[in-house]
Amino acid sequence: MIGKLLSYDPPKSRVLGVVLAIIVLGLALAPFLFPGAAAINTAAKICIFIVLVASYDILIGYTGIVSFAQTMFFGIGGYGVGLSLYFLGPTWPVLALGIVIALILGVALAFVIGLVSLRVKAIFFAMITLAVASAFLILATQLSELTGGEDGRTFRVPELLRPGTKLLEAPLFGLEITGRIAAYYLVFLAALALFLVALRLVNSCFGRVLQAIRENESRAEALGYRVVYYRTLASCLSAALAVCAGVLSAIWLRYTGPETTLSFAIMLDVLLMVVIGGMGTLYGAVIGASLFILAQNYLQKLMGVASAATEGFPLLPRLLHPDRWLLLLGVLFVLSVYFFPTGIVGRLTQRARK
């Protein structure tokens, strides 16, 4: 049963299996284990980013092409649902409509990008996605009558998911069961399902062809696989998953705006999560996202402390200022690509194999 759920691709190291089990259990029980708004927020964010990072790994890890537009699709999901709920009212059919619109738009865009860029050189893809994502970000901030511009849109979600809704009369295990808890479990279960779908995808025939192409493009072509076709399809599927992650994010935050969905900083976060967790293994997405988001909360505070402590030294306080969070990430990123290219999961499985 579990084997089938995991598409017969279980974690290949015992340590990894235990860590994954702890993460999944922790997320499943998060509202009960770690009460408080901040903790549940972090847990939801981890769930959402696991899906987003997994969607990205399908491209970078399994297909071997780099995209800088993953947050664009994330944003399309967020805006699709957010704007629908904002303009048409907070009902379930509207939510469904928003999801459908976002999926169609996202996949169509991914298809066109794939078509023009993957036909010739895979390297076009990185540049074109970067350009398209920048244009999309600018467009989203410029079309402010629709999108709310820089401020984004705050909207209401269907009744069941609102914090004010009380679902149970009495608290359960000391926890008030509100719409917020319902929303969390919606996010959690959807993320779990999407992750399992992604796992199925990469372990299907399709996923194996992708990996064959990644390993040796000309050989795969010689074996009769249409490389462009497979890559474009992979980028469409990856986009669809990212759209779904964006939908979850919108449902959870009840807000959508350029900073939280489209910004380049998020793209960098996702890149780092993939690299740290391990490219080419979806379990890496789980580890990378969890570790990164936990560290992010903690490290930014630490930087503040360090910056204050080094007051008086030249340049150091500025380098350690929490605003220079991206500097730390950038350095970390370069170092991990150099010295740690297989990521945590890669290291663990290598050790297990020995």
Partner 1 sequence: MKKMRQNKKTEGDDMADISAPAAPSAPDAIPKKSLDLLPLALPLVIGLAAWLLIGSTTTWLTLTLAALAMGMMVFVIASGLTLVFGLMDVINFGHGAFIAIGAYLAMTVLAPLSGWVQADNLALNLAALLIAAVVAMIGTGALGLVFERIIIRPVYGQHLKQILITMGGLIVAEQLLHAIFGGDQKSMALPAGLRGAIIIGDLALEKYRLLAVAVGLAVFAAMQLTLNRSRIGLLIRAGVENSEMVEALGYRIRRLFVGVFVAGSALAGLGGVLWALYRETFTASIGGDVMVLVFIVIIIGGLGSVGGCFLGAILVAMMANYTAFLVPKVALASSILLMVAILMWRPQGLYPVAKR
Which spans of this chain sit near partner 1 (rule: CB under 8 A)?
60, 64-66, 112, 116-117, 119-124, 126-128, 130-132, 134-135, 138-139, 142-143, 264, 268, 271, 275, 315, 318-319, 321, 323-324, 326-327, 329-331, 333-334, 337-338, 341
CA distances from 223 to 59, 61, 65, 122, 217 (A): 21, 22, 20, 19, 10
Of the CA atoms within 13 Å of residue 223, those in its CB half-sphere come to 11
For partner 1, the closer CB: 27 or 285: 285
The DSSP secondary structure of 324-349, one letter per residue, reads GHHHHHHHHHHHHHHH-TTHHHHHHH
Min separation Cβ 56 and partner 1, Å:
12
d(CA 175, CA 173): 5
Min separation Cβ 196 and partner 1, Å:
27
Close Cβ partners of 335 (under 8 Å, ≥ 6 residues apart)? none
CA distances from 323 to 84, 139, 266, 329, 333 (A): 34, 26, 15, 12, 17
For partner 1, the closer CB: 132 or 194: 132
Min separation Cβ 63 and partner 1, Å:
10
For partner 1, the closer CB: 185 or 340: 340
Min separation Cβ 3 and partner 1, Å:
31
Min separation Cβ 175 and partner 1, Å:
41
CB 161 within 8 A of CB 179: yes
Listed residue (163, 134, 139, 165) closest to 150, CA to CA: 139
Min separation Cβ 107 and partner 1, Å:
17
For partner 1, the closer CB: 39 or 123: 123
CA distances from 262 to 11, 76, 135, 209, 218 (A): 32, 9, 11, 31, 35
Residue 68 token pair: 């800088």
For partner 1, the closer CB: 226 or 318: 318
For partner 1, the closer CB: 85 or 109: 109
Min separation Cβ 298 and partner 1, Å:
20
For partner 1, the closer CB: 124 or 206: 124
CB 43 within 8 A of CB 30: yes
Sign of CA dihedral 343, 240, 294, 321: positive
d(CA 149, CA 136): 12
